[in-house]
Amino acid sequence: MRQLIAGNWKMHCLAAEAVALAQGIAAGASGIGAELLVCPTALHVAAVAQALQGSNVAVGGQDCHQAKQGAHTGDIGGPMLRDAGASWVILGHSERRQNHGETDELVREKTLAAVEAGLTPIVCVGETADQRAGGQETETVGWQLAGSLPKPFTGVVAYEPVWAIGTGKTATEQDVATMHAFIREELVRQFGDAGQIIRILYGGSVKAANAASLMAVPNVGGALVGGASLNAEEFLAIARAARAG
Ligand code: 13P
C-alpha cells in the first residue's frame, strides 16, 4: 500500500505563513505518488484547504472533541473540521496526552466521533524515555492500542516515541522494526485480518536525511512529521522518499 506522509504543523504559522507553506507543498506535490496530508492548526484548516484545492494534498486537524457539538468552550467538533475542509484528524498525540491529560478512553471516544464526522483518524501511541529505559515500551504501547482504538477501527496508527519528538533523536531502524512488528501483531489480535492493512506511521525527528531508511522498514506505512513539515522542500523530499504503491 502506498505510504502516507503527514505533516503535523502543531502550533506554528500565522495565517499567511500557513497558506504560503501549503502553496509551496502543493506546487511540488503533483508528481509524488505517496499520499500527502498537512495538519495545520484548526484555525487555518479552511484557508489551507482552499490553498490546496485541486492538488493531491489533503488537510487534517490536530484534535477534535468527542462530542459532535455542545457547550464545550474552546473546543472544536469533528463536523466543524469536516465542514472547514479537513478529511483527516490526528488524535491522542503525546502532546495532547501530556499537556491536556488525554487518556486512552478519551482518545477512543474522540476516534469514534471523528469517524462519525467523516474524518479518518490518525491515532498516536508511543512510550516515554523512562518507559523505554524501564523496558516497558511494548507494554505501554500495547495498553495504548487496546484502550485507544474502537472496534472496528478504520483509521491509521502513528507510533511516536515521546523521546524522539522534536529532539533530533530518531529511533533506530531496529527499534522501529521491532515496535512496528509488535503493533502489527496487536492490530491483528484486536481486529483480525483487518489489522493487516491498517497503516502504521512512524513519527519522531523524521527528516529528508533519514526518511528513506525509515520508510524502508517493514510495517512502516508512512511518516508523521513535525518540525521538518514546516519547510516545503524538506517535506517534499521526505514524501519523495516514500513508497508510491
Ligand atoms: P518532530 O518531527 O518535530 O520530531 O515531531 C514529531 C511529531 O510529534 C509529529 O506528530
pLDDT tens track for 196-243: 999 999 999 999 999 999 999 999 999 999 999 999 999 999 999 999
- Given a cut of 90, whether residue 94 has pLDDT beyond it is yes
- The total of structural domains in the chain comes to 1
- For residue 80, CA distances in Å to 60, 63, 86, 157, 178 come to 12, 11, 9, 23, 38
Q: Mapping DSSP to helix (H, G, I), strand (E, B) and coil, where does residue 109 land?
A: helix
In a domain, residue 245? The reply is no
**Sorting pLDDT into bands at 50, 70 and 90, what band is 1?**
confident
Q: What is the pTM of this model?
A: 0.98
Distance CA 44, CA 33 (A): 26
pLDDT of residue 60: 99
CATH of the domain at 169: 3.20.20.70
Is the bond into 40 cis (omega within 30 degrees of 0)?
no
- In this structure, the residues whose C-beta lies within 6 A of any atom of ligand 1 are 8, 93, 160, 165-166, 203-206, 224-228
pLDDT of residue 245: 85
The chain-wide mean pLDDT, for the chain, equals 97
pLDDT of residue 86: 98
**Active site annotation includes 72:** no
| CA of 81 relative to ligand 1 center, distance in Å | 21
Candidate list 102, 160, 186, 234, residue with the active-site label: 160
pLDDT of residue 218: 97
Q: Using the atom order of ligand 1, give the atom closest to the CA of residue 93.
A: 10
Q: Mapping DSSP to helix (H, G, I), strand (E, B) and coil, where does residue 85 land?
A: coil
Q: Which three cell numbers stand for residue 177?
A: 522494526
In a domain, residue 143? The reply is yes
Q: Whose CA is nearest to atom 9 of ligand 1?
A: 226
In a domain, residue 167? The reply is yes
Q: Whose CA is nearest to atom 2 of ligand 1?
A: 226
Distance CA 228, CA 218 (A): 23
Distance CA 22, CA 230 (A): 9
Residue-number span of the structural domain to which 21 is assigned: 4-240
Count Cβ neighbours within 10 Å for each residue of 91-107 and write b for 16 or more, e otherwise.
Answer: bbbbbbbeeeebebebb
Q: Which three cell numbers stand for residue 108?
A: 477512543
